[in-house]
Structure 1
Amino acid sequence: MKVLITGATGLVGSALTELLLQNGLKINYLTTNKNKIEHQPNYNGFYWSPESGVIDENCLIGVNTIIHLAGASIAKRWTSKYKQEIIESRVLSANLLFNALKNNPHQVKQVISASAIGIYPDSLKNYYSEDFKKFDNTFLSNVVVKWEESINQIERLNINVCILRIGLVLAKNGGALPEILKPIKLGLGSPFGSGKQVQSWIHIHDLANMFLYALQNNLQGTYNAVAPTPVTNYELNYSAAKILEKPFFMPNVPQFVMKLILGEMHTLLFESQNVSSKKIKEKGFVFQYKLIQSALNQLLYK
């Protein structure tokens, strides 16, 4: 089987590429950087430019499934210009894939796309399943709605679409965890705001395995990609401090301080989304890291 991946060199893409190759799959990948194009027996790069509407159609040859991970990082200051880039990087790339599939012969039967739990409103009370539809008019929610709409149009081509709404990805060498650990390692660890906001997380290995599971089982529809046991911001920070044997007694970080430092992006640290993983578990997916302690132990000690 051959898979086409966008965003293959990012945090999730790198872990997934390694896993797919280990499982004997062949990979084509799309990159906007011509210097990153490689040609190996089971790993071949192709150029695309979503901004310009340019794609090397040869990337589709022999491909059965597309895994779409491309999108500008939300972990950068949200200037007006960068907000536009966050949206366009997702929508334009999905539109380009749609047009490439519509206008070229191919064997693609399934598209699996990343999405985000940022689509759900900030709430200390709600427990969100994939059926929830009352989205707020916030920047992140609007981004994800447009992202998913641009991917779901591919269904019109009689191709199965599977969307994974990803939570806080915990990984050793990227994503949020290294940033969370910086003050803790200095003995300055503390929760953000009340510390009661719920953070629905997933270990990078479980996330990569979930994409592979969706591929192997030809899953269709939307699934939350989060561990079964969300934690509060206090529990996340405290657990990390305990494993690292660091003190954890500093005052909670006020929201206005982080707003001064990060601007509008500070909402990522303070919003609460308690998200259910029941649907993917009912499809037979088994999490290796269900508890925050086991996930952090693996990431911090290996």
Structure 2
Amino acid sequence: MRVLITGATGLIGSKLCSLCREEGIKINYLTTSKSKIENQDDYQGFYWDPKNDVIEGGCFKDVHTVVHLAGASIAEPWSNSYKKTIIKSRTRTAALLHKKLSENSHEVENFISASAIGIYPSSLEKLYFEDETAVADNFIGEVVKKWEASADDFETIGLDVAKIRVGLVLAQDGGMLEKIKKPISLNMGAALGSGKQWQSWIHINDLAEIFLFAIKNNLTGVYNAVAPNPVTNKELTKNLASQMGKSVWLPNVPTFALKTLLGEMSQIVLSSQLVSSKKIESAGYNFTYNNLSRALGDLT
């Protein structure tokens, strides 16, 4: 079996590639950096330049499934131009893949796209499932709606589509955890805003395993990729500090201060999404990291 992966050298992609190779699944990957191209039987790189609709021929050869992970980080300052980059890095790349698949014969049957739980409206009380139709009335909601629409387009060319809505990723290097750890390591850790906002997290290993599970089981539809036991921001901060042997003694960082400091981007840390993992579990996936303490113990 061979898959094509975009964003293969990123946080999720690199972990997924390792898992695939361990399982004997061969990988073609797309990169915008020619220096990152490798030429191995089970790990073959291809150059692409989505801005100019360029994609190297042969990337779809023998490929059964495309996994689309490419996308600019949302954890950078949201200038108007960068907000466009965030959207285009997800939708333009998908459109290029769609165009090339439409124009050429291929054996691709499945398209699996990353997505995000940020599509759900912020709520301190509501538990969100995949069939929720309301969309967050903010920039992240707009991003995810367009992101998922670009994935749905692949159904028009006969592909089965799966969308994996990713929660707060906990990883040793990169992701949100790295940013949270810095002030805590200086004994300057504090809950953000009210601290009551729900954070539906997932360990990087489980996240990569869910994408592998989707590949091996030809999943279709929408799935939340979050651990079974979400926590509040206050609980996350205290638990992480405890794992690091630090204390949380400062008062919460006020909401107005976060909005002043981060502007519109403050929605990333202030939004509350209480998200269910039941659907992916019912499909047969078993989480390795069910609770936060165990996940943080592995990562700190």
- Classify the TM-score, shorter chain: over 0.9
Residue 260 of structure 1, CA deviation: 2.9
How far apart in 1 are the matches of 2:35 and 2:297? 37
Q: Residue in 1 aligned with 2:89?
A: 89
Find out whether 1:40 has 2:45 as its counterpart: no
Letter in 2 for 1:215: I
How far apart in 2 are the matches of 1:159 and 1:135? 25
Q: Residue in 2 aligned with 1:291?
A: 291
How far apart in 1 are the matches of 2:40 and 2:83? 36
Q: Residue in 1 aligned with 2:203?
A: 203
Q: Residue in 1 aligned with 2:49?
A: 49
Deviations 1:9-63 (A, max 9, x none): 1100111111111111111000111121111121111111111111113100011
How far apart in 1 are the matches of 2:224 and 2:259? 28
Q: Residue in 2 aligned with 1:143?
A: 143
RMSD of aligned residue pairs (Cα, Å)? 0.9
Deviations 1:62-112 (A, max 9, x none): 111111000110010100000000011111011111111111111111111
How far apart in 1 are the matches of 2:126 and 2:52? 41
**Contact 2:118-2:136 at 8 Å conserved across structures:** no
Q: Residue in 2 aligned with 1:190?
A: 190
Q: Counterparts in 2 of 1:106-125, with a 5 A limit?
A: 106-125=106-125
Moved more, 7-16 or 52-61: 52-61
Residue 261 of structure 1, CA deviation: 2.7
**Contact 1:77-1:264 at 8 Å conserved across structures:** no
How far apart in 1 are the matches of 2:86 and 2:283? 31
TM-score, with structure 1 as normaliser: 0.98
Letter in 2 for 1:120: Y
Find out whether 1:252 has 2:252 as its counterpart: yes
Residue 245 of structure 1, CA deviation: 1.3
How far apart in 1 are the matches of 2:159 and 2:219? 12
How far apart in 2 are the matches of 1:198 and 1:137? 18
Moved more, 193-202 or 240-249: 240-249
Letter in 2 for 1:90: R
Deviations 1:122-168 (A, max 9, x none): 11111110110111331110110001001111011111111100000
Structure 1 gaps, min length 5: none
Letter in 2 for 1:143: V
**Contact 1:57-1:104 at 8 Å conserved across structures:** no
- 4+ long deviations beyond 4 Å: none
> Aligned residues, how many?
300
Identity of aligned residues (%): 53
Residue 190 of structure 1, CA deviation: 1.1
Q: Counterparts in 2 of 1:96-107, with a 5 A limit?
A: 96-107=96-107
SS in 1 for 2:146: helix
Residue 219 of structure 1, CA deviation: 0.6
How far apart in 2 are the matches of 1:190 and 1:102? 51
Letter in 2 for 1:101: L
TM-score, with structure 2 as normaliser: 0.98
